Amino acid sequence: MKPAPFSYVRPASLEEAVRVLAAGGGAARPLAGGQSLVPMLNLRLAPAEQVVDLTRIEALRRVEDRGTSVFYGALTPHAAFEDGKVPDASNGLMRHVAERFAFRAVRNRGTIGGAIALADPAADWLPTVIALGARLHVAGPEGERIIPAEEFVLGPYFTALGEGEILVGVEVPKLAASARWGYSKVTTKVGEYAESMAIAVVDRARRSARIVLGAADGAPIVLADLAARLLDGARPEDLAAAIRAELVASERDFAPAKLVMHTTTIVRAARDAVS
Ligand SMILES: Cc1cc2nc3c(=O)[nH]c(=O)nc-3n(C[C@H](O)[C@H](O)[C@H](O)COP(=O)(O)OP(=O)(O)OC[C@H]3O[C@@H](n4cnc5c(N)ncnc54)[C@H](O)[C@@H]3O)c2cc1C
């Protein structure tokens, strides 16, 4: 199929992009690497009267080591993490995640900002940056604001971005050397979107732990009860019943088989993070 007709603009600055998007209302859409937007336009799943190409905006490509954190511009491609071309805030977690999804052509063009803004419930970056305690920088008609990653997604493909707002970048606090992580993903084929995915970041020396479930049929689920138990020294292998109970309490209505799969990925990720 071919897309419905749309106009195309390629602004040179963030301010101009915000202005054009705000003027277009819901009918204007930002374009990053086009890895999801272009197929959605072709299939007429994402109506757009105007496509606002962000790729000329240098401010969205900026990557900065800020001492205690690293700022990754929204246009940073997945391949830059995979190839170690950007500073690492995550003791290797972001690289590990980036090199395991889709295939290289998609990772060359797909961007961290596009992936997060899309809010596909089965995608990798969102649960990852939530587990890392990232802050999302957003620019819009009312100026700039920062949204904690875990507050960004409101539902499948539905985010806290308002009309005319652009995700500018992701600021990830640097993990301490004592922090460990675990990542477990179930897919039907290598490189496909996840059936289940869990990421655990645990730093027992600093008494900090975050365990996040992705592919959870909506926003990623942060397992606060499990985090507290791990910090108290519990072994993940002994916590399957408690994890199931925490998932049930999230009221996501998981089918029994999904509940088992999610519990398994969570136990595996948590085990790797504390081992
Ligand atoms: C075959 C295939 C397999 C894939 N497998 C996986 C996988 O296993 N795991 C995974 O995590 N991902 C996967 N992806 C997703 C892919 O890696 C990209 O992250 C995703 O398609 C977003 O691509 P993009 O950056 O080109 O954004 P685009 O397609 O350009 O945009 C995506 C959406 O975000 C909006 N947008 C883009 N940038 C911004 C911004 N800065 N501010 C506000 N809104 C913005 C667009 O308007 C659009 O709605 C897969 C994609 C393909 C095509």
Residue 223 Cβ < 6 Å to ligand 1: no
Higher pLDDT, 227 or 2: 227
- Mutation choice for ligand 1 from 72, 103, 106, 196, CB with most ligand atoms inside 8 A: 106
- Identify the band that residue 229 occupies on the pLDDT scale cut at 50, 70 and 90: very high
Residue 102 Cβ < 6 Å to ligand 1: yes
Is there a common fold for 62-173 and 180-274? no
User: DSSP alpha helices (H): ranges in 132-235?
Assistant: 224-231
**Is the per-residue pLDDT at 198 higher than 90?**
yes
Q: What is the spatial distance between Cα 4 and Cα 15, in angstroms, rounded to a whole number?
A: 27
Name 43's Cβ contacts closer than 8 Å, sequence gap at least 6.
1
Residue 159 Cβ < 6 Å to ligand 1: no
Name the architecture of domain 7-53.
2-Layer Sandwich (3.30)
Angle (nearest 5°) at CA 69 between 144 and 126? 70
The per-residue DSSP string of 250-270 comes to TT----HHHHHHHHHHHHHHH
From the candidate CATH numbers 3.30.465.10, 3.20.20.100, 3.40.50.10610, 3.30.300.20, the one assigned to the domain spanning 62-173:
3.30.465.10
Residue 41 Cβ < 6 Å to ligand 1: no
Superfamily for domain range 180-274: CO dehydrogenase flavoprotein, C-terminal domain (3.30.390.50)
The residue with tokens 């645990």 is: 202
Residue 36 Cβ < 6 Å to ligand 1: yes
Closest atom of ligand 1 to 75 CA is 41
Inter-residue contact 77 to 107 (CB < 8 Å): yes
Residue 191 pLDDT: 80
**Is the per-residue pLDDT at 1 higher than 80?**
no
Residue 98 Cβ < 6 Å to ligand 1: no
Per residue in 125-153, pLDDT (tens digit) is 999 999 999 999 999 999 999 999 999 99
- Picking from 114, 57, 104, the residue whose alpha carbon sits closest to that of residue 79 is 104
User: What is the number of residues in the chain?
Assistant: 275
**Is the per-residue pLDDT at 189 higher than 90?**
no
Residue 16 pLDDT: 97
Residue 52: in which H helix or E strand, if any? Answer: strand 50-53
- CA-CA-CA-CA torsion sign (184, 33, 17, 81): positive
Identify residue 240 by its one-letter amino acid code.
Answer: A
Name 161's Cβ contacts closer than 8 Å, sequence gap at least 6.
117, 138, 140, 167
Q: Where are the domains of the chain?
A: 7-53, 62-173, 180-274
Residue 115 Cβ < 6 Å to ligand 1: yes
Q: State how far Cα 155 lies from the chain centre.
A: 13
- Picking from 115, 157, 108, the residue whose alpha carbon sits closest to that of residue 134 is 115
Taking the centre of ligand 1 as the mean of its atom positions, its distance from the CA of residue 229, in whole angstroms, is 35
Taking the centre of ligand 1 as the mean of its atom positions, its distance from the CA of residue 118, in whole angstroms, is 6
Dihedral pair phi/psi, residue 194, rounded to 5°:
-75, 145
Taking the centre of ligand 1 as the mean of its atom positions, its distance from the CA of residue 231, in whole angstroms, is 35
Taking the centre of ligand 1 as the mean of its atom positions, its distance from the CA of residue 113, in whole angstroms, is 8
Q: What is the spatial distance between Cα 185 and Cα 213, in angstroms, rounded to a whole number?
A: 10
Q: State how far Cα 29 lies from the chain centre.
A: 19
Q: What is the spatial distance between Cα 95 and Cα 114, in angstroms, rounded to a whole number?
A: 17
End-to-end distance of the chain based on CA atoms, in angstroms? 50
Taking the centre of ligand 1 as the mean of its atom positions, its distance from the CA of residue 42, in whole angstroms, is 15
- Residue 57 carries which DSSP code? -
Judged by average pLDDT, the poorest of 113-127, 184-198, 220-234 is: 184-198
Per residue in 239-275, pLDDT (tens digit) is 999 999 999 999 898 999 999 999 999 999 999 999 8
Taking residues 173-188, report their average pLDDT: 97
